[in-house]
Amino acid sequence: MKPITLGIVCPCYNEEAVLALSAERLEKIFDQLQQDKKINNNSFVLLVNDGSKDKTWDIISELHAKHTWIRGVNLAHNVGHQNAIMAGMMTAKDWADAVITTDADLQDDVEKCVPQMVDDYMAGYEIVYGVKVSRTADPLMKRLTAQAFYKLQTSMGVNSVFNHADFRLMSNRALEILSRYQERNLYLRGIIPLIGLNSTTVEDEIGERAAGQSKYTLSKMLNLAIDGITSFSVKPIWGIIYMGLAMIIVSIAILVYVLRALIIGTAVSGWASLMLSIWFVGGVLLVAIGGIGIYIGKIYTESKHRPLYNIKEIL
């Protein structure tokens, strides 16, 4: 197979401390892949500046002036990790046969995984997911919360790859299909498995951040987690309905209790009807809210205009 044009997209938010180090690491990987005749010299790294407040864009401009294979995109303001990756992929898709996304701090094991991803692409896979096999470099809290979140997601029926973050290769065709998903609350880990096509995984051993600090604040992480569930699942709405039904059942038990109190004469006047109404009306209200929620959920799904199908081959 002919050497391919590879694009590597890195979102960068206040990454002045780490960019030069990352560029060095990527240069070695590119040199090796070119020597092995796997990628051609149109291959590039695309650094997406996500509205950084520090010198990130200046550094990207300097790197580009020094190395023609480093390109940059400067976003007008901070739009967050997911949107920044999307901006990079959509810019790179017309320039490359395959695009790999990885964080600017290169915590992913790019030395091992990038060549494997390229091999998998050459073997016919259109999406290759980097799957974290060890998260020892992540702080304990992050590891635990992330894993609990993956489990919660699965139980909510969201189809995502376990322990995969946004380190992945996508073919030009997979990116073309991704561009048809027009949604605003972007959660790529949920959308990309919806694309279909041949996919595989590589094992990724996460390393420490070489310089600078994590840009993923707790609130950014929570927002991502909420999108990861609410953009794909209406199960939480069913939870409301089940809660309402449970309350209606409890109201039957209360009915028995109230009747008993009335019969033995311990009930104060007015107490019985009040007691029963609270549980029964509460239950009915919850079921009704859940019912409306299901319709709103459908409007939400419709408004995403997701493609109904993606074509793999036509004979």
Q: What is the CA radius of gyration of the chain?
A: 26
> How far apart (Å, rounded) are the C-alpha atoms in residues 114 and 124?
16
Site string for ligand UDP, 22-61 (x = CB under 6 A): ----------------------------x-----------
Which 191-250 residues touch ligand UDP, going by CB under 6 A? 214-216
Residue 80 partner contact from ligand UDP, Mg ion, none using kind-dependent CB cut-offs of 5 to 8 Å = ligand UDP
Cα–Cα distances in angstroms (integers) from residue 173 to residues 118, 126, 179, 214, in the given order: 15, 8, 10, 32
| 130 near ligand UDP, judged by CB under 6 A | no
> How far apart (Å, rounded) are the C-alpha atoms in residues 228 and 81?
14
| Least distance in angstroms from the C-beta of 215 to Mg ion | 8
| 13 near ligand UDP, judged by CB under 6 A | yes
Among 47, 92, 104, 286, binds ligand UDP (CB under 6 A): 104
Question: Nearer Cβ to Mg ion, position 10 or 286?
Answer: 10
| 84 near ligand UDP, judged by CB under 6 A | yes
By the 8 A CB rule, do 170 and 99 touch? yes
Among 12, 92, 114, 254, binds ligand UDP (CB under 6 A): 12
Cα–Cα distances in angstroms (integers) from residue 128 to residues 14, 92, 121, 224, in the given order: 28, 17, 8, 22
| Least distance in angstroms from the C-beta of 270 to ligand UDP | 57
Q: Where are the alpha helices (DSSP H) in the chain?
A: 19-35, 56-66, 81-92, 110-122, 140-155, 172-178, 188-195, 218-230, 235-264, 271-303
| Least distance in angstroms from the C-beta of 79 to Mg ion | 18
| 11 near ligand UDP, judged by CB under 6 A | yes
Question: Nearer Cβ to ligand UDP, position 51 or 239?
Answer: 51
Question: Nearer Cβ to Mg ion, position 131 or 250?
Answer: 131
Residue 46 partner contact from ligand UDP, Mg ion, none using kind-dependent CB cut-offs of 5 to 8 Å = none
By the 8 A CB rule, do 138 and 206 touch? yes
Report the candidate in 224, 127, 253, 120 with the shortest Cα–Cα distance to residue 178: 127
> What is the b/e burial string over 258-293, where b = at least 16 CB atoms within 10 angstroms of the residue's CB?
beeeeeeeebeeeebeebbeebbebbeebbeebeeb
Residue 227 partner contact from Mg ion, ligand UDP, none using kind-dependent CB cut-offs of 5 to 8 Å = none
Binding residue count for ligand UDP, defined by CB under 6 A: 17
| 80 near ligand UDP, judged by CB under 6 A | yes
| 107 near ligand UDP, judged by CB under 6 A | yes
Show Cβ contacts of residue 226 under 8 Å, excluding neighbours closer than 6 positions.
none
**CA 243 remoteness from chain centre:** 29
| Least distance in angstroms from the C-beta of 251 to ligand UDP | 47
- Positions touching ligand UDP (CB under 6 A) are 10-13, 15, 50, 78, 80-81, 84, 103-105, 107, 214-216
